């Protein structure tokens, strides 16, 4: 007499030629009712997975098929990211998916991702030369190849910050997969990465900023007014370069940053600002009004020289002599050159925001006005910056700024 292979109530669990198989009726994330199967050679193992599947089906929807990671990421980009995110974010996510996630994880099944798999991927990503991996040097003409293509690896590895950024994109994608009930947990959220070392920003002193601005004004630098806005108002590079005359009221002394100018691939695009608070009106100190007035006269002269051929249709404040928008990368290079010409310590454009508060204090801007410019929620935060500027330093800086800058604008 043969033994039983199935117990009572196990009609959907049965032997097959190469082992055992079972199925459970489940509700898919799309709301449809389907069978989901488990199979294998070992009865106890398959039976345990069958019981687990039954429990999952009672708790909620269960996916009956699992796409490859590359397929899922493509759908996530098309359905979730592109319709709802800012252009710069879309460009960053698309680049991360294309250069790192597709090559490293694309062929794996979505439901097979676990912490160990991701740890191996990120460990390898951190030590891989991206020039070799992406064939950057190999893509150059043979006469211009200088490193990896000729056996001299340049070891162009990602920084810890960049590795963290890749994890951020993957974590966002898998969080969406959990929300859509395609997977039960997010392994990217459970995985730990070694923290990157934060670079401490050493901002310019008031004297450094004054020396930089005086150098730019005396040389009639075409970016002088832009420098004033990023130093005195703390505007970001994209906010300043995307500033439009329709958002500037020189008579009332108010500015509304509405758009930011971003490089998206090979195009320069005006995009909405990052947050709703970013486009709040900002009061213009007198030095900003003078700089923008000078800039408006410059641009009018450029338009007159080109007659009716002025191409700028967006009314940008900062354009080239022929009306083209200013490439953020070109502006960064010009900023670096001005640092050298002014004889001041070179910092990044984005680091100028740290100097803004000290400049406002040195220029004797009222704390309430400075609070609005710095976008502080509490006046006490603004006053902390003001108390860090000694009164003697303030008086001397004011004297130099007034004589060297306001006087030049008149």
User: pLDDT tens digits for the chain (410 residues)?
Assistant: 344 554 545 668 888 888 888 888 877 776 778 787 788 888 888 888 888 878 877 877 776 667 899 999 999 999 999 998 888 889 999 999 999 999 999 999 998 899 999 999 999 999 999 998 888 888 889 888 888 888 889 999 998 989 999 999 999 999 999 888 788 889 999 988 887 666 677 878 888 888 898 899 889 899 999 999 988 888 889 989 999 999 999 999 888 888 888 888 788 888 877 655 555 788 888 888 888 999 999 999 988 888 778 888 888 999 988 888 999 999 999 999 999 999 999 988 888 877 777 777 777 677 777 777 777 767 776 676 665 554 565 555 545 554 444 444 43
CA 277 from centroid of its chain's CA atoms = 18
User: Tokens standing for 200?
Assistant: 């401490």
**What are the structural domain ranges in the chain?**
13-59, 69-190, 206-409
User: Tokens standing for 52?
Assistant: 């687990």
Q: Yes or no: say if 163 and 130 are a contact pair by the CB < 8 Å rule.
A: no
Query: Is the whole model's pTM more than 0.75, yes or no?
Result: no
Phi, psi of 303 (to 5 degrees): -65, -40
Task: Let me know how long the chain is.
Answer: 410
Cα(146)–Cα(154) distance, integer angstroms: 9
Cα(222)–Cα(103) distance, integer angstroms: 44
Q: Report, at the CATH architecture level, how domain 69-190 is classified.
A: Orthogonal Bundle (1.10)
Cα(291)–Cα(410) distance, integer angstroms: 10
Residue (of 338, 239, 354, 234) closest to 285 by Cα position: 234
Which helix H or strand E contains 379, and what residues bound it?
Answer: helix 379-387
Q: Which fold would CATH assign to domain 206-409?
A: hpI Integrase; Chain A (1.10.443)
User: Tokens standing for 170?
Assistant: 């993957």
63: region left, alpha or beta (phi > 0 left; psi from -120 to 50 alpha): beta
Phi, psi of 243 (to 5 degrees): -65, 135
- DSSP, collapsed to helix, strand or coil, labels residue 251 as coil
């Amino acid at each position: 007499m043969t033994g039983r292979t199935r117990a009572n109530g196990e009609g959907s669990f049965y032997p097959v030629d190469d082992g055992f198989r079972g199925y459970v009726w489940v509700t898919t994330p799309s709301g449809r009712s389907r069978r989901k199967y488990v199979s294998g050679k070992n009865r106890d193992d398959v039976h345990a997975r069958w019981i687990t599947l039954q429990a999952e089906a009672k708790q909620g929807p269960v996916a009956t098929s699992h796409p490859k990671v590359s397929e899922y990421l493509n759908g996530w980009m098309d359905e979730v990211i592109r319709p709802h995110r800012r252009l710069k974010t879309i460009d960053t996510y698309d680049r991360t998916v294309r250069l790192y996630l597709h090559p490293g994880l694309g062929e794996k099944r979505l439901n097979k991702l676990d912490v160990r798999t991701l740890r191996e991927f990120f460990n390898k990503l951190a030590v891989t030369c991206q020039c070799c991996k992406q064939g950057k040097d190999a893509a150059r003409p043979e006469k211009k190849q200088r490193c990896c293509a000729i056996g001299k690896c340049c070891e162009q590895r990602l920084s810890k910050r960049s590795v963290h950024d890749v994890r951020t994109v993957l974590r966002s994608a898998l969080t969406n997969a959990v929300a859509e009930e395609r997977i039960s947990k997010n392994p990217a959220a459970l995985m730990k990465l070694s923290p990157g070392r934060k670079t401490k920003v050493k901002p310019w002193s008031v004297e450094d900023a004054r020396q930089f601005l005086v150098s730019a004004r005396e040389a009639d630098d075409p970016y002088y007014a832009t420098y004033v806005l990023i130093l005195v108002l703390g505007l970001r590079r994209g906010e300043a370069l995307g500033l439009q005359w329709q958002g500037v009221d020189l008579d009332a002394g108010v500015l509304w940053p509405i758009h930011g100018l971003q490089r998206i691939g090979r195009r320069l695009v005006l995009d909405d600002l990052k947050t709703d608070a970013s486009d709040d009106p900002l009061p213009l100190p007198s030095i900003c009004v003078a700089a923008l007035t000078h800039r408006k006269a410059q641009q009018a002269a450029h338009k007159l020289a080109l007659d009716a051929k002025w191409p700028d249709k967006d009314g940008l404040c900062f354009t080239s002599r022929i009306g083209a928008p200013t490439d953020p990368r070109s502006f960064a290079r010009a900023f670096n050159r001005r640092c050298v010409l002014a004889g001041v310590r070179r910092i990044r454009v984005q680091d100028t925001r740290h100097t803004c508060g000290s400049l406002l204090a040195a220029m004797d801007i009222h704390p309430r006005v400075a609070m609005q410019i710095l976008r502080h929620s509490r006046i006490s935060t603004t006053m902390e910056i003001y108390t860090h500027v000694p009164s003697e330093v303030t008086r001397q800086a004011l004297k130099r700024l007034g004589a060297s800058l306001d006087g030049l604008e008149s």
